[in-house]
Structures are given as C-alpha cells and as structure tokens.
Amino acid sequence: MAFSRALYCILFIGMIYLSPNGVICRDIFTAYNHMAKLASVELELHQALQDYISAEETKLLELREFYKLIARARQLQSDATTSLTDYAANPIRAYLMLKRFVWQWRQIKEKMEGQQELILGRLRNYKELMPSEVDLDGALKAIARIQETYHLPPSYITAGLREMPMEESQLGIQDTYTIGRDSYHQEKYYNTKIWMEEAFRQMNGSSYKDGVKLSDILDHLSWVEFKLGNVQQAVNYTVEWLRLEPDHIRARTNLIYMTRENERLLGDSSSKVEKPDAAKKEKKLKPHQRKRYDYKNFDWPTEKKNYRRLCRDEEILTYEEKQDDNKLKCSYFNKDPLLRIKPARMERVWEKPPIYIFRDFASKKEIEDLKAISGPQLSRATVHNPTTGKIEFANYRISEFSWLYDTDGEAVAKVNARLGAVTQLDVSTAEGLQVQNYGMAGQYDPHFDFSRIKLEKARAVKEHELKLIKGLGDGNRIATALLYMNKVEAGGATVFPYVGARLTPSEGDVVFWHNLMRSGDGDFRTRHAGCPIISGTKWVANKWFHEAGQEFKRPCGLSPYE
C-alpha cells in the first residue's frame, strides 16, 4: 500500500512536469529529429523507472522492519491501552523515540526523497523535450492524413501498419474513435465512416470500452451513412442505437425522419423508367493552362485528386502536354571547372517542364555534416499566406527547417559551390541552404517556389503585397535545387500534379528545375508537392536561385513560352 501511494505521488508530480502549461512547446510531431530524441528520453526514463521500482521494493522491506521495530518499542500489538502521557513519561522510551525521529525517520524521509529524484530529476532535465497535447493532436491528424492519402485500411493502421492485426490493436478504441470524430467535424463523411466502422470492430460486441460508448459510434455511423446517401443503412444503425438507448430522443426522431426518407426514395426509384442512353458521361476535366497569373483560378479539386493519385503511384486524371520519352537521356556534365575531374551524372527525368536529377551529388559524410550542423537550429517551417501577407504555420507543411550558409561549415560551402557548378547559375544572389526534416506524415501540399506577384505588373494595392515586391531585390526565384539527404522508407515522393511527374530520388541526389520561363513569367507547370511520409524520416535541403546575376547564364528567349 505504501508503495502504491508513493508511486501515485511520483506519477502525479510527473504529470505536472508533462502538463502543457509547464512545457515549452516545440511541436514535436513536426520533425522526426525531435521524435528520435524523445525516443531516447523514454528509453532512459524506462530504465530509471526500473531502478526506482527495484529501489522501492528494497525500501519496502526496510520500511516493514522499521514498522515492526516501532510496534515492538511501543508494544502497540499487546498493550493498546497505554496512554500517550504514560508512554512518553518513561525516559528510556522517550529517548528511543527521539532517537528514531533524529536518525531513523530522517533516513526514511531522505530515502523516499532520493528515490523520487530518479524519475523527477530526469523529467526536469528533459522538460523542453516533453510533448504537449498539441503534439498528440498533430500526431493523430498525421495518422488520419496517411490513411486519406494512400487509401490504407484503418485496420492496417490500427495494427501498427501491419497486414495481419495483432491480438490487441496498437491503436486503441479511443484513438480510432477520436480520428473518426475529427473527420466528422471536418465533414469528411467517408473518412468518418471507415474509422467508425473500425471502432465498431474494436468494440467486439461490448457496449462500453475504454471510455467509448457503442451508442456514440452508432450515432456517427447512422448520420454519415445518411449524408452519403445510404439511407437504409442509416436506418439500420439507428435501430441498433435505439436497442441500446430506447429513450434517446434524437435517435427516435432521426429514425422517423430517415424511415420516411427511405420510403420516399424507394417510391421514386420504382416509378422511374431508365432510358437506354441515360447513362451519365464522365465529365472531361480541363487540362491545366500553362500561363496564368491569377492563382485563385486554379482547378483545385483536380489538383487535389492528381496529387493524391501521384502519391499512390497512380496515373493522374489529365496531362497538360504529351511527353517525348526519347528526350529523357543520361549524360555526364562537366561544363564547370569544378566538374572536370569528376563530372556530374545528369539525368533528364521529365521533358515539359525540364526536370533533371544529378545522381550521387553529395557524399555520405557531407550529408551527415549538414544534418549535424542544422539539427540544433531546427524550427517549425512556415509559409507566406498570399491572402493576408503574414508568415504563419500551416497544417499542409509539416516539417522543421534551418538556414545554413557557407560560414556554418566546410560541407555547406562545398555543397553550395557544387550546386552553382551543376546548375550553371550564379549562387551569389541565391538564398541560403534550407535544410528540412519532416515530421509524422510530413508533407508539403502543392505549391509554387516562385512569387505569383509580377514585378513589372504590380497589381498590388495592399501594403503587404507592396512590401513583398520590395523584398524581391534579387528578383524572383528562377530555379530550385532539391538535395535528398536520405532514402525515405515509405511515402514521401516529390510530385508535380499538373504534369504527372513523380520522383523518388536516392540519398545524395539533387533534383533541379527552372521555376520561371525565359521571359521571367512563372512556369505554372512546376507546381509541386511533397507526399506524406508513411514510415521512416525525410531530410532534404532546398537551394533557391534568384533572377539577379543570371542575365547571361540564362538569357531571355525569342518566345514567351520558352
């Protein structure tokens, strides 16, 4: 009993150290670099807990012996009627009692406090690394994002990304139900359905399990089936719900309404006579237009479908232009003095727009050096909101980043110089090397690397747009070089939704493309995205080149479409 109370005390104090109010929020879920540190901390805490339990078991033996000593000294077992005054009046008893307080009770106190420090001391030391409820919520949303993008069965996910579920799911009923409910609040009814069906399966016939009621699951299932047009199934779920809660007013009202709606639909379907050519033709989707300045006119629904299809390695719905595979060639590139001894291995992987991969661009040591330099500086990635003009966090970019410059280390300087050599662009006006580490289901939704505000056609009237134009002193981002610093275990491909390109480079490869046409107009075909990571981690480094200094390295062409 004493051990239980002591352990509860330790856990309670530990929760104070883990509470969101006492933690510096680092958004652990946004970078696996932090997650790895947290795994190391948990391993250390696990060992500390084992040491604490062993020490507590030894201490309990000592406490029992001390308890028996007091019982014998005060003869409490045989003489419970002795008054406290009579007991203390005996000088020998009084002395022995004082001795116990001065030495033995003090030792007991010190031992108990010392054992607590085995856990509490470590919790204090790692306070800044401890996750918060924000991280827990972000991690659960990441799991939902993996399922939604890759169409994985929820049972496969709850089993810990395994084909054959274990006896007990790794993702419990509370977690599964929470994902389904979160999908419901976002009005993603199909996602709600499949997660609630998995929660129903995990209930295994129970009406209540781990804080979740079967009636709540049936409530959600009945409504989403109704919203999806499966009225009869909605009626069936509502009937099951009423068996559990016969007096539930909303369930009874829903049943009346859904039953009438089902009867109406059945009546309508029986009265209709289908014509032979009444079959609906699939709507042909418009191909994306290459030259467009207003990003609000983009065909967002098609892009979203293309993005997810490419992540799953499926063909996209439309292509802008037919690719000529004969123009996709490999060659050695040595036009720069830095490449004379060791030419770059260049591969053209896409024709329109031209996308290149420089194989084995960076060595293993250079990559490890970049990770070591950037690791302590990582902070959550932000985006520029084109509507408000503010820099902010976004749930469509889950990663952390740090900026590296030549002065940060030899590896940075070498990589930057070599990027200038293979791209044949001036690096003096380029941005620093941005190293990114993606987090749980880390992704970056479709986006442009170039600014959509044209400098020569300053349509901006808002203050933040004018500020942005003035900030482009070195011109727009003319090109992007993307260094892959590891091979992702599963997921994490780089895709171009409007042209159908899907890239999964190896560690040390660099992908390169021009963001602007030779005229200076943005090439909207280069809109790209990073697919969610299913498992493993992802490290990349971006290098963005600007227009200034490239006038003779990439001169204007004769056509605005070049």
Please compute the mean of the pLDDT values over residues 86-94 and round it to a whole number.
Answer: 65
pLDDT of residue 165: 53
Tell me whether residue 491 is in a domain. yes
186 and 225 in a single domain? The answer is yes
The pLDDT > 90 percentage for the chain reads 46
- Higher pLDDT: 7 or 49? It is 49
Q: Which two tokens stand for residue 422?
A: 């293979």
Please compute the mean of the pLDDT values over residues 11-40 and round it to a whole number.
Answer: 51
**Residue finishing a domain among 266, 289, 324:** 266
- Higher pLDDT: 526 or 317? It is 526
Highest mean pLDDT among 38-47, 265-274, 549-558: 549-558
508: left (phi over 0), alpha (psi -120 to 50) or beta: left
387 and 517 in a single domain? The answer is yes
Tell me whether residue 196 is in a domain. yes
Say whether pLDDT at 269 is over 90.
no
- Higher pLDDT: 195 or 68? It is 195
**How far is residue 533's CA from residue 504's CA, in Å, rounded to a whole number?**
12
Enter the pTM of the model. Answer: 0.75
388 and 246 in a single domain? The answer is no
122 and 153 in a single domain? The answer is no
Q: Are 546 and 481 in contact (CB under 8 A)?
A: no
Tell me whether residue 117 is in a domain. yes
pLDDT of residue 166: 55
- Work out the pLDDT band at 77, boundaries 50, 70, 90: very low
Which H, E and C letters describe 109-152, residue by residue? HHHHHHHHHHHHHHHHHCHHHCCCHHHHHHHHHHHHHHHHHHCC
pLDDT of residue 71: 80
Q: Are 222 and 241 in contact (CB under 8 A)?
A: yes
Say whether pLDDT at 105 is over 90.
no
117 and 186 in a single domain? The answer is no
pLDDT of residue 389: 52
- Work out the pLDDT band at 123, boundaries 50, 70, 90: confident
Tell me whether residue 296 is in a domain. no
pLDDT of residue 130: 73
Residue range of the domain that includes 163: 133-266
Which H, E and C letters describe 424-470, residue by residue? CCCCCCCCCEEEEEECCCCCEEEECCCCCCCCCCCCCCCHHHHHHHH
Over the chain, what is the mean pLDDT?
80
Highest mean pLDDT among 137-141, 278-282, 290-294, 466-470: 137-141
pLDDT of residue 17: 37
**How far is residue 245's CA from residue 439's CA, in Å, rounded to a whole number?**
42
- Output b/e per residue, 236-269; b: 16+ Cβ within 10 A: bbbebbbeebeebeebeebbeebbeebeeeeeee
407 and 468 in a single domain? The answer is yes
Q: Are 60 and 2 in contact (CB under 8 A)?
A: yes
320 and 221 in a single domain? The answer is no
Tell me whether residue 184 is in a domain. yes
239 and 352 in a single domain? The answer is no
- Work out the pLDDT band at 310, boundaries 50, 70, 90: very high
pLDDT, tens digit, 9 for 90 and up, residues 142-160: 889 999 999 999 998 888 8
Tell me whether residue 238 is in a domain. yes
Tell me whether residue 555 is in a domain. no
pLDDT, tens digit, 9 for 90 and up, residues 409-432: 999 999 999 999 999 999 999 999
> How does DSSP classify residue 400?
E
Say whether pLDDT at 241 is over 90.
yes
**How far is residue 402's CA from residue 251's CA, in Å, rounded to a whole number?**
53
237 and 323 in a single domain? The answer is no
What's 225's domain CATH number?
A: 1.25.40.10
Residues in the chain, total: 562
pLDDT of residue 209: 95
**How far is residue 125's CA from residue 123's CA, in Å, rounded to a whole number?**
5
371 and 439 in a single domain? The answer is yes
The count of structural domains within the chain is: 3
Nearest to 238 by CA among 261, 215, 260: 215
| 328: number of Cβ within 10 Å | 14
pLDDT of residue 294: 41
Q: Are 416 and 510 in contact (CB under 8 A)?
A: no
461 and 321 in a single domain? The answer is yes
Say whether pLDDT at 32 is over 90.
no
225 and 255 in a single domain? The answer is yes
Tell me whether residue 12 is in a domain. no
Q: Give the 3-state secondary structure of residue 279.
A: coil
The pLDDT > 70 percentage for the chain reads 72
What's 496's domain CATH number?
A: 2.60.120.620
